[in-house]
Amino acid sequence: MNEFARERGDDLREFAEELLRFDTTQRNEAPAQAYVRERLDELGFETYEWTADAEELAAHSSFPDDPDAISVADRPSVGGVLEMGDPDAGHTLVLNGHVDVVPVARESWSSDPFDPTWRGDGDEETLTARGAADMKCGLAACVFAAKHLEASTDESLDGRIVVESVVGEEAGGIGAASAALSNPYPFDRDAAIIAEPTDLRPVTASEGSLMKRLRLTGRSAHAATRWRGVDVLPYFEEIRRAFAALETERGERVTHPLYEDFPVPWPVVVGRVEAGSWASSVPAELTAELRIGVAPGETVAEVEETFDQRLAELVAEDEWLTDHPPEFERFSVQFEASEIDADEPVVGAVQRAMAANGLDDADSRGATYGADARWYNEAGIPTVMFGPGSIEQAHFPDETIPWAEVLTAGEVLSDAAAEFLR
């Protein structure tokens, strides 16, 4: 058992358990955030709270243009600050986690997703609950990593540690975006570590995503005389095949050294399809929603132009589509890809802390998901992701995390913070 586990393990366990009991699905985060702020106050943090400005977010290209389409009311984010030595003489490091979780299909779970369940013991002990991996345990580790550093540091260490519990990450990063666009603190931030579930490995690049909605128009007819109609489904299948081919082309053409091991580096997924209005009628309308991967080094707009052009080529080859052009518009929140240089000081701090705790697999990695790191990187705050648990457990039934990884993450985060502030 490491020093962090001996000194902080019980408090970390209690905090994580309590936080996991809150249902923090979208727009339900406020009670949990009140608990987080209360606990941070009790632990001696100076606390801050902010709520995103929908108009400010709507002015950013990643969000919908209509402020009314962005849910911000009663969704506070919370920050807690600990100061060491002369805080203005040193650096400021943010340890960030999101408190929101995705919805659950309770019938797929073997236990109540908001009643934390412990299994096993010792190094084999696991914790199961919605948000265990993504990412309330990582957030809890941040809190007690900061406290551990405060208690163990000598007076020669100057600077600040900020622990953030933000909302709306699963819906595009509302809390982090707001903190990046309008600093809620009276001091600058020099770097950040986000405790996403990275299998205790440093992630310096994260994929972006373009969200597009496709609408096709055909002509309805009775099923008994279907030849009189224009069925939208064959057109949809043709477009889907064209986009799948483009996915393959992009996987070969758009390369990145951190994504060479992924079988599909820039995935295209049709996540939702709705067509037709009656079982005995030719379907005359179809709506499909797509998530299209964006590589680090690309922009959402560049990838959008590529897919728009491929669709335009199909339309130009067909008389019906030319006369009844598909609608292909953005919806929801767009995720820009994000990457920082592996030589950034905060990355080195994490890698040295990993080595000190026996974690040898410290090479920088890329992730095929989007995260709040992009907001801080865009704001000039170099951000690396490092945390306990696996992304394979995120959004999954019986979401589970090995507790030993949480304790290790706490020790590494505390050591990394010390390394960065030196």
DSSP string across 212-228: EEEEEE-B--BGGGGGG
CA separation for the pair 422, 417 (Å, rounded): 9
Closest CA to 100 of 139, 50, 155: 139
CB-based burial of residue 69 (10 Å sphere; 0-12 exposed, 13-18 middle, 19+ buried)? middle
CA separation for the pair 262, 368 (Å, rounded): 9
Say which amino acid occupies 70.
Answer: I
Phi then psi for residue 7, to 5 deg, are -90, -25
338-349 in b/e form (b: 16+ CB < 10 A) is bbbebebebbbb
pLDDT for position 128 = 98
pLDDT for position 300 = 97
pLDDT at 129 over 90: yes
CA separation for the pair 160, 163 (Å, rounded): 10
Contact residues for 106 (Cβ-Cβ < 8 A; gap 6+): 112, 113
CA separation for the pair 258, 367 (Å, rounded): 8
Q: With beta carbons less than 8 A apart as the criterion, state whether 40 and 146 touch.
A: no
pLDDT at 231 over 90: yes
CA separation for the pair 217, 153 (Å, rounded): 66
pLDDT for position 388 = 98
Q: Dihedral, CA atoms, 145, 150, 153, 155, nearest 10 degrees? A: 160
The residues that bridge with 138 in the sheet, in sequence order, are: none
pLDDT at 1 over 90: no
pLDDT for position 152 = 84
- pLDDT tens string 271-325: 999 999 999 999 999 999 999 999 999 999 999 999 999 999 999 999 999 999 9
User: What is the DSSP code (8-state) at residue 155?
Assistant: T
Number of Cβ within a 10 Å radius of residue 98:
30
Confidence category of residue 419, pLDDT binned at 50, 70, 90: very high
Share of the chain above pLDDT 70, in %: 100
pLDDT for position 416 = 98
Number of Cβ within a 10 Å radius of residue 50:
18
pLDDT for position 279 = 97
- pTM over 0.75? The answer is yes
Q: Which two tokens stand for residue 154?
A: 């000598």
CA separation for the pair 368, 202 (Å, rounded): 14
User: Can you tell me the mean pLDDT for 245-269?
Assistant: 97
- pLDDT tens string 86-118: 999 999 999 999 999 999 999 999 999 999 999
pLDDT for position 156 = 81
pLDDT at 262 over 90: yes
pLDDT at 155 over 90: no
CA 168 to chain centre: 9
User: Can you tell me the mean pLDDT for 236-252?
Assistant: 98
CA separation for the pair 222, 83 (Å, rounded): 72
pLDDT for position 153 = 74
Phi then psi for residue 141, to 5 deg, are -60, -35
Report the mean per-residue pLDDT for the chain: 97
pLDDT for position 147 = 97
pLDDT at 214 over 90: yes
pLDDT at 154 over 90: no
pLDDT for position 263 = 96
- pLDDT tens string 349-398: 999 999 999 999 999 999 999 999 999 999 999 999 999 999 999 999 99
